[in-house]
């Protein structure tokens, strides 16, 4: 990975993004497992679209993923400041208002693997105290690089295994706790709520922490302007959440969690529909199924054979 970063670092940012986009569009034409997953996800999300339209979106999304990969590589080199200068912030007042109104000091930032999230997150971290909850990647080398990049940007990184305790501490310190909650969860980690009308097992941790602490939850998404290196970090008003009394019956509290997760997924879906090429369609988002439902994606083991 370091060799790739050095190679990309020798290319001007516009050229590196263009190269990443070309590689992404080429990958979209290959019989790769992630490409197959993306096609399935697009069929689930947009069943009324013509196949050619979905194929065009697949190509656009992987082109954008190539640009994102190029920007992550460039952030370690001499182009870092120029990249960060291409990010502007809309809606910062919503984050500041959430922190003022928070009974615990900090607020939860609801984000997704959407747009150039690492670059835009680094830009925001220059001005605001961010703590990001991360899910350990399967590739330890990549995980180390990503977390080092976040730490260099001034972010506090919180391992998901002890996320609740660390998030409570960060909120008490007046920090913004970033939770990327748009990926598949195991049954014991979440609840099923619709995403593109498909039951999606979704981590309920952000909502449970928000309900426990009273911390506001502010959605933030990262939009690229065309195919350029200019980005907009867009924060919106805090989500309206159902907040039952702490001594409410268990059934009422569980129903509130489910409703709040539904609202969270609706927020993700709204952003994705605004810029569908920005999302990671290659992720096996609907892998965990409700009891009695069969698998959606082909088995990795079968593909290897």
Residue 281 CB coordination number (10 Å): 24
Residue 200 CB coordination number (10 Å): 27
Rounded CA-CA distance 130/135 in Å is 16
Q: Report pLDDT for 149.
A: 80
- Whether the CB-CB separation of 208 and 257 falls below 8 Å is answered with yes
Q: Report pLDDT for 139.
A: 61
The domain tally of the chain equals 1
**Cβ neighbours of residue 79 closer than 8 Å, sequence gap 6 or more:** 9, 12, 13
Q: Report pLDDT for 303.
A: 47
Domain presence at residue 71: no
Beta strand ranges found along 84-216 (DSSP E): 87-90, 107-111, 130-134, 156-159, 176-180, 190-195, 198-203
Residue 37's Cα: distance from chain center in Å?
18
Domain presence at residue 6: no
Q: Report pLDDT for 2.
A: 55
- Whether the CB-CB separation of 132 and 150 falls below 8 Å is answered with yes
Binned average pLDDT, 10 residues per bin, the chain of 305 residues: 59 93 97 96 98 98 96 89 96 96 97 95 94 72 73 82 83 96 94 98 96 97 96 98 93 97 98 98 97 91 48
Identify the CA nearest to 73 among candidates 144, 152, 8: 8
Domain presence at residue 75: no
- Whether the CB-CB separation of 46 and 281 falls below 8 Å is answered with no
Rounded CA-CA distance 299/97 in Å is 46
Q: Which residues pair with residue 234 across a beta bridge? A: 90, 221
Domain presence at residue 74: no
Domain presence at residue 250: yes
Domain presence at residue 115: yes
Q: Report pLDDT for 301.
A: 61
Domain presence at residue 182: yes
Rounded CA-CA distance 239/260 in Å is 9
The dihedral through the CA atoms of 190, 193, 195, 201 has a sign that is positive
- Note down the domain range covering 189: 88-291
Q: Report pLDDT for 255.
A: 97
Domain presence at residue 210: yes
Rounded CA-CA distance 24/7 in Å is 17
Question: Residue 149 — φ and ψ, nearest 5°?
Answer: -60, -45
Question: Residue 15 — φ and ψ, nearest 5°?
Answer: -70, -40
Q: Report pLDDT for 146.
A: 74
Task: State the helix-helix crossing angle for 51-74 and 33-45, rounded to 10 degrees.
Answer: 130
Q: Report pLDDT for 143.
A: 67
- Quick one: 261 exposed, middle or buried, by C-beta within 10 A (0-12, 13-18, 19+)? buried
């Amino acid at each position: 990975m370091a060799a790739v970063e050095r190679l990309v670092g020798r290319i001007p940012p516009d050229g590196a993004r263009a190269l990443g986009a070309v590689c992404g569009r080429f990958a979209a034409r290959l019989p790769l497992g992630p490409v197959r997953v993306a096609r399935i996800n697009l069929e689930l999300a947009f069943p009324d679209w013509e196949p050619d339209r979905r194929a065009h979106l697949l190509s656009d999304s992987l082109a954008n993923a190539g640009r994102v990969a190029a920007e992550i590589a460039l952030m370690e080199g001499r182009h870092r400041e120029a990249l960060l200068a291409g990010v502007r912030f809309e809606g910062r007042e919503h984050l500041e208002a959430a922190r003022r109104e928070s009974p615990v000091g900090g607020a939860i930032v609801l984000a997704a693997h959407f747009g150039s999230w690492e670059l835009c997150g680094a830009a925001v971290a220059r001005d605001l105290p961010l703590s990001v909850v991360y899910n350990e990647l399967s590739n330890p080398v990549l995980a180390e690089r990503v977390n080092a990049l976040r730490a260099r940007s001034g972010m506090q990184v919180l391992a998901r295994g002890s996320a609740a305790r660390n998030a409570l501490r960060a909120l008490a310190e007046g920090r913004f706790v970033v939770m990327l909650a748009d990926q598949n969860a195991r049954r014991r980690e979440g609840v099923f709520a619709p995403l593109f009308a498909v039951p999606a097992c979704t981590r309920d941790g952000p909502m449970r922490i928000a309900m426990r602490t009273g911390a506001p939850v502010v959605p933030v998404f990262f939009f690229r302007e065309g195919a350029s290196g200019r980005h907009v970090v867009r924060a919106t008003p805090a989500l309206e959440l159902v907040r039952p009394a702490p001594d409410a019956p268990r059934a009422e509290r569980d129903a509130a969690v489910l409703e709040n997760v539904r609202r969270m997924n609706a927020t993700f879906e709204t952003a994705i529909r605004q810029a569908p090429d920005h999302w990671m369609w290659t992720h096996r988002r609907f892998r965990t199924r409700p009891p009695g439902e069969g698998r959606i994606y082909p088995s990795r083991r079968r593909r290897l054979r």
